[in-house]
Structure 1
């Protein structure tokens, strides 16, 4: 398939109506692979070679460079040529695998946004910790707007929290209780020309407004440290003349999930795994989530040498960086019958962070669909069996497992860390540098091939292969699906994707 033809083809697919995921009856599937041995962890892991992972990473960076024409640097953000090229690479690779998989493209419209310029001036100060919210609309006419800073009562979740002088002013709102999008919309309804949400705890505040609303106004995040002096002045009755400026776009663009399901195996009992095919606009995303999506592609390439007892379904999600859009859409389109065919979902996002820790999502049955804890234990037993340390991390909605567990499907996964800071204790367990991010290039232009730790990537890819082989052979001892009801969480998730939502 030529580059031009395949890019045009996938662009047309993405612009077309939604294609529902086909589940074949598999009547001829066993005949296709009857002469092959049954997959095993040892056999599938044996195919994993660092040189092959490197080759795929180098190819993905070449593809990311296609996005430079529009973004002035390599990127694979949805809507870019880099992302279309990524979809082309994944699909064309799978299409060459001897009819082992049923392939489908599930197209949908995704919200995309980009902030080109921004500036916030409060009084005579320009706070250093100012960040425009993701998916924020621009200021009026994409020009600076001017007005007084107005302190909003409580947390700005109720119309009564906004004083009458909010109209024509810049709303100053504390984080908490409701989402950033709700706060921005409430400020807009009250007549604010812009909004600033300041953190209720230490640290900078970078989040997303989520699904666009006609009431959203240009919205910034601000650290608590930078905000408190202004809060005190406002409480004392001081007028703080301010200005806000954001040049941004928010729109909807067609994009595509890619699904590959084995034709062999029990089609009513599927092990499913996924990674996201897109990057942020700011960089090429070779670790985030090039490593996860390429791990899936490498394993799918070698799985064709084996027979499976249970079907294996691979997914490459679009729009994860914009708020889990692809995985949310996929699960929302499943009937209850199709939902119940998925015995578990495994999420693989960022597997080669340079300052890595071996992280396992702390998925417990008490607050997640039954089976999530058993999957967690499979990962930990693998690390223990290979004399590797590991650590549990919150199962807090930051990646594509979220929609699955919210719809009753057991889930879990592993990672190697993003912007979190490695502790001294973790450095003693995993090596690396304490006090630095697990991935110092997280969501930045330097997330290139040079950003990858191949030791961690190779080991984790073998663990992913183990997880696939284990459940492709048998679900013995794994809880059966009996319905789509899920345990109720006591606290709402602060994340829906990589950015804070509240």
Structure 2
């Protein structure tokens, strides 16, 4: 395996590791003698080089890398800013570098906001709501100590300053809806609240992120609507409810890095691009999320070196996806109009090996997304159909790294095998597994380890990734031309990344 067992090097690199900075496009002439004798990439041939054993060997290396995060987090993790993520980037970069001059390789560093909640507790009346969760990117309570005050119900859905009376010394209870959680937290903070509690106006628990930090944000919890209902009733009836809130957390800005590799050969004005994210959540090692996608890219990139390509292929390993699509957002935001137009399509590969899997295809239509998205969707569904396999459509709702691309006019799509969603009885008949369980019961948890991979689904989906690369690297004939880099009319989404934002 390329770059096999550079683990000792990861230990030596430590925090001092620095990537070699390379230009987006090397202006010097590139000799293609090394690829001239190779055959043109062919889907069937490239797929035949994909084997589950190779993928699992890479996963074992990645889990060893995640264990580098144990000293700081007390368990394996590859969250951005950790030694586990630093070593993940080293592994990706070194693996591609070992492939020689088939690829131009570069990194793209950018500032990323990260947060970590060390401890939290919410008490309403005399009860601790079972659904209470400290929101992602919440600041701590004042001096990281408990704060006490009467619970106060905010009018309407708390999206306007007029909804907030003087809340000095109080804890605000706010409905979810209409505007981002961060807006509600900041408005409550400006009104003098000690802390905020946002309750769900839909069924179920509520977890989310405050998003881009504001100096007005205050310590913010979320709870379910059912947990909030009794307190809302008491407050509307004029009864008082005492509350206390405590959050020990940090929010800080660090530097992290996207890694990009592009074939030196192939038409640079017609680039086929695909990506996965290199980071995990703080809670676990992320071997399925998104170790499976990022390692699939490494394996396909490695096997592609056996072929000649007509169109350039660009691989990306994004950082900061779990914090809100930070790496992919940054990448697209700094593209010039000319460079934007060179990307003919973007394919997102996030979670390809869920243990209770379904073969999921993003329902990317041309009506709601840049033209070409539907053609990409159909390539995936045709593949499953041709193999006699079922598939299901899932919303194209902004939860992964395709979002910035489609919002900037670039056709996008992708496949997945499922996260925290519950498998239905119909899906059990279609794909096997267990109805009533999550597609990935270890989603965003410590148990997202080597035991959390379905190798059958992973190998099949990696062959599909290889098929997508080979198809478009060979020819873009019939794929819609791009004439504009303007953002498409994409509908607003509750998500920007894996966490709810409104």
TM-score, with length taken from structure 1: 0.97
Following the alignment from structure 2 to structure 1, what is the Cα–Cα distance between the partners of residues 97 and 134?
41
Following the alignment from structure 1 to structure 2, what is the Cα–Cα distance between the partners of residues 90 and 137?
33
Matched, 1:87 2:94: no
> Alpha-carbon deviation of 1:487?
3.0
- For 1:77, what is the secondary structure of its paired residue? coil
Q: What are the Cα deviations for residues 207-253 of structure 1, in whole angstroms up to 9, with x where unaligned?
A: 00011110000001110111111111111111101000000011011
Native 8 Å contact 1:60 1:86 kept in 2: yes
* Pairing of 1:65-84 with structure 2 (within 5 A): 65-84=67-86
Following the alignment from structure 1 to structure 2, what is the Cα–Cα distance between the partners of residues 70 and 314?
30
Matched, 1:115 2:114: no
Runs of 5+ unmatched residues, structure 2: 1-5
Paired position in structure 1 for 2:65? 63
Native 8 Å contact 1:58 1:449 kept in 2: yes
Following the alignment from structure 2 to structure 1, what is the Cα–Cα distance between the partners of residues 69 and 389?
38
Paired position in structure 1 for 2:172? 171
Following the alignment from structure 2 to structure 1, what is the Cα–Cα distance between the partners of residues 256 and 198?
31
> Alpha-carbon deviation of 1:31?
3.0
> Alpha-carbon deviation of 1:295?
0.1
Following the alignment from structure 1 to structure 2, what is the Cα–Cα distance between the partners of residues 223 and 77?
27
Paired position in structure 1 for 2:273? 272
> Alpha-carbon deviation of 1:3?
3.1
Runs of 5+ unmatched residues, structure 1: none
Native 8 Å contact 1:100 1:263 kept in 2: yes
Paired position in structure 2 for 1:49? 51
> Alpha-carbon deviation of 1:28?
2.2
Native 8 Å contact 1:26 1:267 kept in 2: no
Paired position in structure 1 for 2:213? 212
* Pairing of 1:315-330 with structure 2 (within 5 A): 315-330=316-331
Following the alignment from structure 1 to structure 2, what is the Cα–Cα distance between the partners of residues 126 and 8?
40
Following the alignment from structure 1 to structure 2, what is the Cα–Cα distance between the partners of residues 340 and 432?
42
Native 8 Å contact 1:25 1:267 kept in 2: no
Native 8 Å contact 2:268 2:311 kept in 1: yes
> Alpha-carbon deviation of 1:27?
3.7
Native 8 Å contact 1:368 1:486 kept in 2: no
2:10 to 3, 8, 11: 3
Following the alignment from structure 1 to structure 2, what is the Cα–Cα distance between the partners of residues 272 and 27?
22
Paired position in structure 1 for 2:343? 342
* Pairing of 1:474-489 with structure 2 (within 5 A): 474-489=475-490
Following the alignment from structure 1 to structure 2, what is the Cα–Cα distance between the partners of residues 457 and 69?
30
Matched, 1:184 2:180: no
Q: What are the Cα deviations for residues 384-426 of structure 1, in whole angstroms up to 9, with x where unaligned?
A: 0000000000000000000000110000000000000000000
- For 1:99, what is the secondary structure of its paired residue? helix
Following the alignment from structure 2 to structure 1, what is the Cα–Cα distance between the partners of residues 223 and 10?
44
Following the alignment from structure 1 to structure 2, what is the Cα–Cα distance between the partners of residues 431 and 35?
44
> Alpha-carbon deviation of 1:26?
7.5
Following the alignment from structure 1 to structure 2, what is the Cα–Cα distance between the partners of residues 9 and 232?
56
Following the alignment from structure 2 to structure 1, what is the Cα–Cα distance between the partners of residues 214 and 154?
20
Paired position in structure 2 for 1:449? 450
- For 1:351, what is the secondary structure of its paired residue? coil
Following the alignment from structure 2 to structure 1, what is the Cα–Cα distance between the partners of residues 49 and 231?
59
Paired position in structure 1 for 2:499? 499
- For 1:413, what is the secondary structure of its paired residue? strand
Following the alignment from structure 1 to structure 2, what is the Cα–Cα distance between the partners of residues 8 and 323?
24
- For 1:191, what is the secondary structure of its paired residue? coil
* Pairing of 1:294-443 with structure 2 (within 5 A): 294-443=295-444
2:100 to 94, 98, 101: 98
> Alpha-carbon deviation of 1:125?
1.1
Following the alignment from structure 1 to structure 2, what is the Cα–Cα distance between the partners of residues 39 and 405?
27
Native 8 Å contact 1:137 1:248 kept in 2: yes
TM-score, with length taken from structure 2: 0.97
